Homo-oligomer: A and B are copies of this chain.
Amino acid sequence: MSTYKIVSDATISPPERSTYRHGDLRRALLEAGIQLARAGGPDAVVLREATRRAGVVPNAAYRHFASRWELLQAVRSAALSALARRMEAELARVPRGASPADAARASLRAIGTAYLRFAQEETGLFHTAFAIPDETRGEPIPAKAGNSGRNPFQLLGDALDRLVDAGVLPPERRPGAEYLAWSAVRGLAMLLTEGPLRRLTSAERDAIGQRLLDMVEKGL
């Protein structure tokens, strides 16, 4: 709600504009919204400020978003895509030579690690992605260059499926397992970003993150 790590304070070019039409206002507003979310979380996504940054009068926003809420949803969706990209990048680092069981375990850890890192490196986006009542969990992310079109939640499900295929997770434990794993990292992310673990050193953060993933792996 208040203190976020400053991610990028580069003052955006005051976007003078000679044409009456903006050209790509929707995108500009969304981008401004993302910046605001990065710097201050969902509450910082303020319609009037976004329009200011786009160099446009407040009401112009309503030609592209029916309300502040819809802008926020668009930002949220972008944040989820960003997280999905990070997860896929982390998944790509899983060693190929390992046994199926080890590879599956490593995949799950990759998902968890990416999630926790994202929460700490992009706190504002993270909270924007998740501190909003979720109406669209199941939907895939519109696939774009460089990602599979699967959202973070689906990626977690994939990892759990692999765990079952590899014989690590008994099939009867599979249903609902994503919610257990998700709960754990979600909660730790809160503690790390706005809870009592806020002031831990980066090493301590990593350590508790790994320990949490141990707990999940063992207890799932």
Contacts and interface: CB of A to CB of B under 8 A. Distances in A.
Interface of A: 1-3, 42, 130-134, 137-138, 153, 176, 179-180, 182-191, 194-198, 208, 211-212, 214-220
B183 A1 contact: no
A208 B180 CA distance: 8
Nearest to A207: B176
A137 B183 contact: no
A181 to B, nearest CB: 9
Contact of A176 (B42, B138, B208, B218): B208
Contact of A197 (B179, B196, B220): B179
Contacts of A191: 179, 182-183, 186
A187 B211 CA distance: 16
Contacts of A211: 176, 180
A160 B1 CA distance: 31
Given A134-B194, A215-B216, A182 B176 contact: no
15 contacts: A2-B133, A131-B194, A134-B194, A179-B196, A179-B197, A180-B188, A180-B208, A180-B211, A183-B185, A184-B184, A186-B190, A186-B195, A190-B190, A214-B219, A217-B219
Consensus secondary structure, chain A interface: helix
Given A186-B190, A186-B191, A196 B137 contact: yes
A21 to B, nearest CB: 34
A134 B186 contact: no
Nearest to A204: B176
A62 B124 CA distance: 31
Contacts of A137: 195-196
Contacts of A208: 176, 179-180
A219 to B, nearest CB: 3
Contacts of A196: 134, 137-138, 153, 179
Nearest to A194: B133
A183 B182 contact: no
A-B pairs with lowest CB-CB distance, top 3: A219-B219, A187-B187, A183-B187
A1 B176 CA distance: 25
